[in-house]
Structure 1
Amino acid sequence: MARPLLRGDRLQAAREAIGLSREELATRLELSSPVRIRVWETGLERPRPRFVPRLAAALGVDPLYLLDVDRDDPPLAALRLAAGLATNEVTGDGLSVMTYVRLEDGRPGADPSPKVMAAISQVLGVDIPRVEAAVRRSRRDHAAMAAFEG
C-alpha cells in the first residue's frame, strides 16, 4: 500500500495560522534551509518519517492532521508516520519488521497475536484498540485496492 502523504496545504495552513515563516519553521526543525519547508508544502518531496511528529509539535497540531488520512480511522502506516518511524524501526519483543510490514500493507492472513499487537502498541505509542482498528483499516484498504486492480 502507498504510504500516506503529507498534506502540504495543511502544513502551510498550520504554519500560517501561528504566524511562522518558512525560515522560522526551518530553524525550529534545525534544517539548513527553508527550501525544505517549501518543497514539503508544494508536494514536491515528502519529509522523512522522523520529521512528521517534529513538524506537528512545532505547529501545535496532531501529526495525523498533516497526513492525507481519516484521523478517526487511520491505517497502520499513518500511525507509524505520526510516531516518526520508518518501517524498519518498527520491531520489538515478538515483532519482526516483516510481520509489521505485512500488517501495514494490509495483507490478508491470520489475526496478529496479542503479543504482536502489544509490541506494535508499545513501539508506536498508541493503545492496543487503536492498533487493532488501524490493522482492520489497512486490510480494508488493501482489499479495496486489490478489487480495483483486479
Structure 2
Amino acid sequence: MARPLLRGDRLLAAREAVGLTREDLTLALGLSSPSRIKVWESGIERPRPRFVPKLAAVLGVEPLSLLDVDPDDPPLAALRVAAGLATNEMGAPGMSVMTYVRLEDGRPGSEPTDKVIAAIAAVLRIDAALVQSAIRRSRSDHPAETSLR
C-alpha cells in the first residue's frame, strides 16, 4: 500500500472549524510560510509524517481523521503516519525495518510473531490488537491478496 495521503479537504475543514488562518497554523507548526499549508490543503504536496500528529494536535482532531483511510479500520501504514513516523524509524529490538515494511506493504507470507506485533505496538505506542487488525487490513489491500479472492 502506498503511504496514506493527508486529505487536503479534511485539513482545510479542521482548520476552519477551529477558526485558524493558514498563518496561525504556520506559526503553531513552526513553518516558514503559509504557502506550505496551502499546498497541503490543495493536495499538491503532502506533509512528511512527522507533521501529521502535530497538525492534528493543533486542530484538535485525531491524526487518522486527516488521512484518506477509514479511521475505524486503518492499515498499518496509516497508523505509522498518524504516529508521525517514517518507515526507517520503525526498527525495534526483535524487528528489522524490512520486516516492518513487508507487513506494512501487506505482502503475503508467514504470520508475524507475537514479538514482532509487540515491537510494532511499542514503537507506535498503540495496542497490539490494533496492530494485528491493521496488518490484516494491509494484507486485504495488497494486490496479490485481492487477486486471490
Pick the TM interval, shorter chain.
over 0.9
In structure 2, the residue matched to 1:92 is 92
Say whether residues 1:127 and 2:127 are aligned partners.
Answer: yes
In structure 2, the residue matched to 1:49 is 49
Give the superposition deviation at 1:147. 2.4
Q: Which whole-Å deviations, capped at 9, do the CAs of 1:107-133 have from their partners, x for residues lacking one?
A: 001110000000000001110000000
In structure 2, the residue matched to 1:137 is 137
Query: Could you tell me how far apart the structure 2 residues matched to 1:11 and 1:130 are?
Result: 25
SS at match of 1:79: helix
The percentage of aligned residue pairs carrying the same residue is: 70
Query: Could you tell me how far apart the structure 2 residues matched to 1:145 and 1:55 are?
Result: 34
TM norm structure 2: 0.96
> Partner letter of residue 126 of structure 2?
V
Q: Which whole-Å deviations, capped at 9, do the CAs of 1:81-130 have from their partners, x for residues lacking one?
A: 00000000001110100000000000001110000000000001110000
Segments of 5+ residues of structure 1 without an aligned counterpart are: none
Segments of 5+ residues of structure 2 without an aligned counterpart are: none
Matches within 5 A, 1:1-150: 1-143=1-143, 147=147
Give the superposed CA RMSD.
1.3
SS at match of 1:94: coil
| Aligned positions, number | 148
Moved over 6 A (4+): none
Query: Could you tell me how far apart the structure 2 residues matched to 1:135 and 1:143 are?
Result: 14
SS at match of 2:2: coil
Query: Could you tell me how far apart the structure 2 residues matched to 1:52 and 1:14 are?
Result: 13
Residues 145, 23 of structure 1: alpha-carbon distance in 2 compared, 3 angstrom cutoff: farther
Query: Could you tell me how far apart the structure 2 residues matched to 1:147 and 1:92 are?
Result: 32
Give the superposition deviation at 1:143. 3.9
TM norm structure 1: 0.96
Give the superposition deviation at 1:145. 7.3
> Partner letter of residue 140 of structure 2?
R
